[in-house]
Protein backbone atom coordinates (compact mmCIF):
# COMPACT_ATOMS: atom_id res chain seq x y z
CA UNK A 1 0.00 0.00 0.00
CA UNK A 2 1.32 3.49 -0.93
CA UNK A 3 0.89 6.72 1.01
CA UNK A 4 0.82 9.93 -1.02
CA UNK A 5 1.69 13.23 0.60
CA UNK A 6 0.61 16.63 -0.71
CA UNK A 7 3.15 19.23 -1.78
CA UNK A 8 2.80 21.24 1.44
CA UNK A 9 4.20 18.28 3.38
CA UNK A 10 7.33 18.06 1.26
CA UNK A 11 9.10 20.61 3.42
CA UNK A 12 8.73 18.46 6.51
CA UNK A 13 9.66 15.25 4.72
CA UNK A 14 12.05 16.77 2.18
CA UNK A 15 14.86 14.42 2.98
CA UNK A 16 12.59 11.49 2.08
CA UNK A 17 10.86 13.02 -0.92
CA UNK A 18 13.74 14.62 -2.72
CA UNK A 19 11.66 17.74 -3.44
CA UNK A 20 9.16 16.04 -5.76
CA UNK A 21 5.48 17.06 -5.85
CA UNK A 22 4.41 13.80 -4.29
CA UNK A 23 6.32 11.06 -2.65
CA UNK A 24 5.66 7.60 -1.35
CA UNK A 25 6.26 7.08 2.36
CA UNK A 26 6.38 3.63 3.84
CA UNK A 27 7.39 4.41 7.47
CA UNK A 28 8.12 0.73 7.95
CA UNK A 29 4.46 -0.23 7.35
CA UNK A 30 4.15 -3.25 5.12
CA UNK A 31 0.62 -4.69 4.96
CA UNK A 32 1.23 -7.25 2.24
CA UNK A 33 1.43 -10.16 4.67
CA UNK A 34 -1.18 -8.88 7.15
CA UNK A 35 -4.48 -10.74 7.10
CA UNK A 36 -7.81 -8.90 7.06
CA UNK A 37 -8.60 -10.02 10.60
CA UNK A 38 -5.23 -8.93 11.94
CA UNK A 39 -5.54 -5.58 10.13
CA UNK A 40 -8.92 -4.85 11.72
CA UNK A 41 -7.77 -5.95 15.18
CA UNK A 42 -4.76 -3.64 14.99
CA UNK A 43 -6.91 -0.78 13.77
CA UNK A 44 -9.35 -1.20 16.67
CA UNK A 45 -6.42 -1.31 19.07
CA UNK A 46 -5.09 2.01 17.75
CA UNK A 47 -8.55 3.58 18.01
CA UNK A 48 -8.56 2.66 21.70
CA UNK A 49 -5.06 4.06 22.12
CA UNK A 50 -6.17 7.33 20.51
CA UNK A 51 -9.19 7.64 22.82
CA UNK A 52 -7.10 7.14 25.92
CA UNK A 53 -4.51 9.58 24.60
CA UNK A 54 -7.15 12.27 24.02
CA UNK A 55 -8.54 11.79 27.54
CA UNK A 56 -5.03 12.05 28.99
CA UNK A 57 -4.38 15.15 26.90
CA UNK A 58 -7.46 16.79 28.41
CA UNK A 59 -6.17 16.03 31.90
CA UNK A 60 -2.87 17.70 30.99
CA UNK A 61 -4.70 20.75 29.65
CA UNK A 62 -6.60 21.01 32.94
CA UNK A 63 -3.32 20.98 34.86
CA UNK A 64 -1.71 23.57 32.55
CA UNK A 65 -4.66 25.91 33.05
CA UNK A 66 -4.80 25.32 36.81
CA UNK A 67 -1.08 26.15 37.09
CA UNK A 68 -1.58 29.13 34.73
CA UNK A 69 1.44 28.00 32.76
CA UNK A 70 0.06 29.50 29.57
CA UNK A 71 0.20 32.93 31.18
CA UNK A 72 3.70 32.36 32.55
CA UNK A 73 4.77 31.53 29.00
CA UNK A 74 3.24 34.82 27.77
CA UNK A 75 0.30 33.30 25.93
CA UNK A 76 -2.81 35.45 26.14
CA UNK A 77 -5.17 32.53 26.73
CA UNK A 78 -5.45 28.75 26.67
CA UNK A 79 -6.78 29.10 23.14
CA UNK A 80 -3.65 31.01 22.14
CA UNK A 81 -1.48 28.42 23.92
CA UNK A 82 -3.14 25.50 22.12
CA UNK A 83 -2.81 27.11 18.72
CA UNK A 84 0.72 28.47 18.96
CA UNK A 85 2.45 26.09 21.38
CA UNK A 86 0.61 22.85 20.60
CA UNK A 87 -0.04 23.73 16.93
CA UNK A 88 -3.69 22.73 17.09
CA UNK A 89 -6.20 24.04 14.59
CA UNK A 90 -8.84 26.53 15.71
CA UNK A 91 -11.48 23.81 15.89
CA UNK A 92 -9.20 21.36 17.71
CA UNK A 93 -8.20 24.01 20.25
CA UNK A 94 -11.79 25.08 20.91
CA UNK A 95 -13.14 21.57 21.40
CA UNK A 96 -10.27 20.37 23.59
CA UNK A 97 -10.37 23.40 25.87
CA UNK A 98 -14.14 23.10 26.24
CA UNK A 99 -13.87 19.37 26.96
CA UNK A 100 -10.99 19.89 29.42
CA UNK A 101 -13.08 22.33 31.44
CA UNK A 102 -15.95 19.86 31.49
CA UNK A 103 -13.58 17.12 32.65
CA UNK A 104 -12.39 19.35 35.49
CA UNK A 105 -15.98 19.95 36.60
CA UNK A 106 -17.43 16.49 35.91
CA UNK A 107 -14.92 13.61 36.29
CA UNK A 108 -17.50 11.17 34.91
CA UNK A 109 -17.04 12.85 31.52
CA UNK A 110 -13.34 11.97 31.61
CA UNK A 111 -14.07 8.29 32.22
CA UNK A 112 -16.66 8.24 29.43
CA UNK A 113 -14.20 9.79 26.98
CA UNK A 114 -11.43 7.47 28.07
CA UNK A 115 -13.57 4.39 27.57
CA UNK A 116 -14.79 5.62 24.19
CA UNK A 117 -18.47 5.41 25.10
CA UNK A 118 -18.88 9.09 24.16
CA UNK A 119 -17.08 11.29 21.66
CA UNK A 120 -15.34 14.58 22.20
CA UNK A 121 -17.68 16.29 19.74
CA UNK A 122 -20.85 15.11 21.48
CA UNK A 123 -19.59 16.06 24.92
CA UNK A 124 -18.83 19.59 23.73
CA UNK A 125 -22.31 19.86 22.18
CA UNK A 126 -23.79 19.33 25.65
CA UNK A 127 -21.38 21.64 27.48
CA UNK A 128 -24.09 24.16 28.43
CA UNK A 129 -26.59 21.52 29.53
CA UNK A 130 -24.51 19.44 31.96
CA UNK A 131 -25.32 19.90 35.64
CA UNK A 132 -24.27 18.04 38.76
CA UNK A 133 -27.73 16.46 38.83
CA UNK A 134 -28.00 15.31 35.19
CA UNK A 135 -24.42 14.67 34.04
CA UNK A 136 -24.45 10.93 34.72
CA UNK A 137 -27.81 10.46 33.02
CA UNK A 138 -26.80 12.54 29.99
CA UNK A 139 -23.52 10.70 29.58
CA UNK A 140 -25.40 7.40 29.58
CA UNK A 141 -27.99 8.78 27.16
CA UNK A 142 -25.47 9.95 24.55
CA UNK A 143 -23.32 6.81 24.75
CA UNK A 144 -22.90 5.42 21.24
CA UNK A 145 -25.02 8.15 19.65
CA UNK A 146 -24.13 10.06 16.49
CA UNK A 147 -23.64 13.80 16.32
CA UNK A 148 -27.03 14.28 14.64
CA UNK A 149 -28.75 12.36 17.43
CA UNK A 150 -27.05 14.46 20.09
CA UNK A 151 -27.89 17.67 18.23
CA UNK A 152 -31.56 16.60 18.28
CA UNK A 153 -31.26 15.95 22.02
CA UNK A 154 -29.80 19.43 22.55
CA UNK A 155 -32.67 20.96 20.55
CA UNK A 156 -35.21 19.19 22.75
CA UNK A 157 -33.52 20.22 25.98
CA UNK A 158 -32.81 23.77 24.87
CA UNK A 159 -35.70 24.85 22.61
CA UNK A 160 -35.47 28.13 20.77
CA UNK A 161 -37.63 30.97 22.13
CA UNK A 162 -40.95 31.63 20.42
CA UNK A 163 -41.04 34.39 17.83
CA UNK A 164 -42.88 37.38 19.33
CA UNK A 165 -46.18 38.39 17.78
CA UNK A 166 -45.90 41.25 15.29
CA UNK A 167 -47.96 44.40 15.71
CA UNK A 168 -49.28 46.17 12.62
CA UNK A 169 -50.57 49.73 12.69
CA UNK A 170 -53.72 49.55 10.59
CA UNK A 171 -53.92 53.24 9.86
CA UNK A 172 -50.47 53.26 8.28
CA UNK A 173 -51.23 50.59 5.66
CA UNK A 174 -52.56 52.84 2.83
CA UNK A 175 -49.56 55.16 3.10
CA UNK A 176 -47.10 52.25 3.18
CA UNK A 177 -48.75 50.65 0.14
CA UNK A 178 -48.64 53.92 -1.79
CA UNK A 179 -44.99 54.49 -0.96
CA UNK A 180 -44.07 50.96 -2.03
CA UNK A 181 -45.66 51.64 -5.43
CA UNK A 182 -43.91 54.96 -5.88
CA UNK A 183 -47.10 57.00 -5.53
CA UNK A 184 -47.33 60.33 -3.85
CA UNK A 185 -49.09 60.24 -0.55
CA UNK A 186 -51.63 63.05 -0.28
CA UNK A 187 -51.24 65.24 2.73
CA UNK A 188 -54.06 66.82 4.61
CA UNK A 189 -53.55 70.36 5.78
CA UNK A 190 -54.71 71.00 9.26
CA UNK A 191 -55.81 74.56 9.90
CA UNK A 192 -54.26 76.20 12.85
CA UNK A 193 -56.76 77.28 15.47
CA UNK A 194 -57.64 80.95 15.16
CA UNK A 195 -56.51 82.89 18.11
CA UNK A 196 -59.44 84.53 19.82
CA UNK A 197 -59.13 88.05 20.95
CA UNK A 198 -59.11 88.37 24.69
CA UNK A 199 -62.34 89.49 26.13
CA UNK A 200 -62.50 92.93 27.63
Residues 6+ apart with CB under 8 A from 142: 118, 122, 123, 126, 149, 150, 153
pLDDT on residue 30: 81
Ranges under pLDDT 70 in the chain: 1-28, 159-200
pLDDT on residue 196: 54
| Residue 96 CB neighbour total at 10 angstroms | 21
pLDDT on residue 5: 39
Q: Indicate the domain borders of the chain.
A: 50-157
Helix (H/G/I), strand (E/B), else coil: 24: strand
| Global pTM value | 0.66
pLDDT on residue 96: 97
Amino acid sequence: MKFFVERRAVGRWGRHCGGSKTCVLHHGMNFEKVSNEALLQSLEMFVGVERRAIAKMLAYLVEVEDRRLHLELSYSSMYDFCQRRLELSENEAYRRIAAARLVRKFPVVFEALRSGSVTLTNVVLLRDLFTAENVVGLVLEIAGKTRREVEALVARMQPKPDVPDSVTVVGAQPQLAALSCGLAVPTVAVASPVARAPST
